[in-house]
Amino acid sequence: MTGRGYRVRRLDELPLVPTDDPADFDWYPVQHHLGLGAFGANAFGGDAGTVLVAEHDELESGQEELYVVVRGAARFTLAGEELEAPALSFVAIPDPAVRRAAVAAENGTIVLAVGAPSGSGFATTWDAANFGQVPRAE
């Protein structure tokens, strides 16, 4: 569905970036397909053992990244520490220096990745008083 100023797509309606490697992850170019420009957004999918996020850091780009496990489960390695992230988990990496990687832990896993440099110009419009009783994650 597309309207004036918006687009709505289900994951199975997004095109895949072509690959010649059948063992490669499924790459859904969310940002590109939906015409977004303020932040990067991609979804990666695969069966157990598929590398969804190759090991990297974001020192060069300065990006903060958020990964959301949409379906299945993923095993993340963050700064050398392994952790399991089941469906509906949020993995936030505000420090660009943190090395990160993720592998699908279940068949049919989908991980959404969203990122942008911390100085990209985003400014919240929410009133800070709304979050007075909301703790920050540690």
Segment 4-27 mean pLDDT: 91
Segment 103-116 mean pLDDT: 97
pTM: 0.92
Give the containing element (helix H, strand E) for 42: strand 40-46
Segment 63-91 mean pLDDT: 98
Q: Three-state SS across 68-114?
A: EEEECEEEEEECCEEEEEECCCEEEECCCCCCEEEEECCCCEEEEEE
Share above pLDDT 70 across residues of the chain, in percent, rounded to a whole number: 99
Could you give the domains of the chain?
A: 38-110 (2.60.120.10)
Residues 129 and 113: their CA atoms lie apart, in Å, by 29
- pLDDT for residue 2 is more than 90: no
